Chain A
């Protein structure tokens, strides 16, 4: 295998692989370079770099001026952070109990978790909306309540998956450390927070990243609950942009850039955890 390192077939393999990489990288570069051009130039001359005459910041001035993109960022990041932390807390505790304790209903609860992964969001959204409306947390002008009305369903949507992944990790921990902590007089809660959580930090990070990204990118739930400009998250804002500013292509390119670039930067630094988080469950271990 090693001797034909520079053979013709290797060259062909590299060419094919590079072609696919171009399909993933180039569209992003293309939209970034066009976000610095005027609308007419995007439609006529989209492949050249925005240098000299072509360069303009007008799209970004418009994006920050009239779009309230910062407000949408704030909402999205708030929602996703709370979702990720709540999922971690609840799923972590439940997984710990499901792995370490033995009790009668264990098997039944485990099946509940597995089955919980099968419910598509489409099948629960209408009753959940009605239920939350009854509680008075949807369709209000109160920012906190509106955020809560998105956070709760999103937490529920991620719980089963997080429990499945975390039970796998906690099972792999040696019980001796917990025994040692028990001998020193720790109770079950102290054992969980002082022994189990620190030991499984990487897996908790994996689950947190998965839940955060899922929530941050989710459009469906947000479309139901975030109906006014002040409440929009990033995805809703982008979606509304298509219908409201349908022909302002420069603004769209700028908005896409503003949403994509921070994620790309985070991705470059945390890719190991992100890839692990997003594919966890499909790959064992």
Chain B
């Protein structure tokens, strides 16, 4: 019976065609076209005819010799570390804490998640006001605490910190929700029998929660690493054009800068390929380090 309804395959085409046409035209074709573009010379976006570079690998030579590329890769790797340690780490601590309380879990979930729904551009403006030199919220606060002299949060020695802190802060709630859902799936009976055996609260966390959460934590780490590669809005709003002195570029923002600001479109395409390779490489590493386990 079940088979006979869907035996007539004619509607299939109508159901599938629009979505897959979209994906082919807007994802697959452009992805390969982008590889071709990286060997060409394109001066303006929207330019239809392109000439081949001579030699064809010109952009790749430029890529390796461009010091800003290395800065952006370094910053992106730091960003990944910050998202793993800061986002997943803080989220894990918060989730374990919330798992140990009786009232208010729902409130904390709502409050922690809420920065994620706000556009990172608006948050960028907000954090610009907070980190303002003369004098934003933070410097006013430090002054009230008795600190003399203002800190320039956007100078070279603080810029990376100032850029990454809001990015990290925004997404803690995301991993918190994933981890707390994982914790809620752990059977209460396990904790109860551990309590009867005399396990302390800390031991319950160490020997029940953390091992059973292993796979969820792996998922979070993978998401954090791929998420770090996509960061764009907040850094570009707070530190446009990699200021100060092109020191805050991430791979994504540098790609945008070369394409839109420097009008070096084919080089932008090359940077996009580097970004993809970086993504593939880092997720391979992450998968090797945080292997999922079966229980």
Residues of chain A at the chain B interface (Cβ within 8 Å): 1-2, 5, 9-10, 13-14, 16-17, 20-21, 23-25, 27-28, 30-31, 34, 42-44, 46-47, 89-91, 93-94, 96-98, 100-103, 109, 112-113, 116, 118-131, 133-134, 138-139, 152-153, 155-157, 159-160, 163, 175, 178-179, 182, 187-189, 191-192, 213, 216-220, 223-224, 234-235, 238-239, 241-243, 249, 252-253, 255-256, 259-260, 263-264, 267-268, 271, 274-275, 278-279, 282-283
Contacts and interface: CB of A to CB of B under 8 A. Distances in A.
B255 A122 contact: yes
A42 B140 CA distance: 10
Contacts of B140: 44, 46-47
Interface of B: 1-2, 4-6, 8-9, 11-12, 14-16, 18-20, 22-23, 25-31, 33-34, 37, 42, 45-48, 90, 94, 97-98, 100-102, 104, 107-122, 124-130, 132, 134-137, 140-141, 144, 169, 172-174, 177-178, 181, 191-192, 195, 201, 219-220, 223, 229-230, 232-233, 236-237, 240, 251-252, 255-256, 259-260, 265, 268-269, 271-273, 275-276, 279
28 contacts: A20-B94, A21-B112, A24-B173, A27-B127, A27-B137, A43-B134, A102-B6, A113-B23, A120-B272, A122-B275, A124-B30, A125-B272, A126-B272, A127-B29, A129-B46, A133-B48, A155-B22, A157-B26, A188-B15, A192-B15, A223-B260, A252-B128, A260-B118, A267-B114, A275-B113, A275-B177, A278-B116, A282-B219
B1 A179 contact: yes
Contacts of B104: 14, 17
A243 B118 CA distance: 21
A90 B25 CA distance: 14
B252 A242 contact: no
Nearest to A189: B11
Q: Which 7 pairs of residues, A with B, have the shortest CB-CB distance? A: A156-B26, A133-B46, A97-B15, A94-B19, A127-B30, A127-B33, A217-B119
A131 B30 CA distance: 9
Nearest to B127: A27
A188 B48 CA distance: 42
Contact of A13 (B12, B101, B110): B101
Contact of A122 (B26, B90, B144, B272): B272
Given A101-B12, A160-B23, A120 B6 contact: no
Contact of B260 (A94, A130, A224): A224
B19 A90 contact: yes
A31 B48 CA distance: 45
A267 B236 CA distance: 25
A21 B169 CA distance: 11
Given A129-B45, A224-B260, 5 more contacts: A13-B101, A127-B30, A131-B29, A256-B122, A278-B174
Main secondary structure of the interface of B (DSSP, over half): helix
A17 B97 contact: yes
Nearest to A121: B230
Given A17-B94, A234-B119, A126 B265 contact: yes
Contacts of B11: 97, 187-189
Contact of A156 (B23, B232, B255): B23
Contacts of A243: 240
B126 A31 contact: yes
Nearest to B268: A126
Contact of A249 (B15, B109, B112, B132): B132
A72 to B, nearest CB: 12
Nearest to B4: A182
Contacts of A255: 125
A126 B27 contact: no
Nearest to B173: A24
B137 A126 contact: no
B2 A179 contact: yes
A126 B118 contact: no
B23 A219 contact: no
A94 B16 contact: yes
Nearest to A10: B101
B37 A127 contact: yes
A126 B276 CA distance: 14
A98 B16 CA distance: 8
B19 A27 contact: no
Nearest to A152: B26
Contacts of B6: 100-102, 188
Nearest to B23: A116
B46 to A, nearest CB: 3
A17 B114 contact: no
B124 to A, nearest CB: 8
Contacts of B115: 24
A213 B26 contact: no
Contacts of B181: 279, 283
B139 to A, nearest CB: 10
A126 B132 contact: no
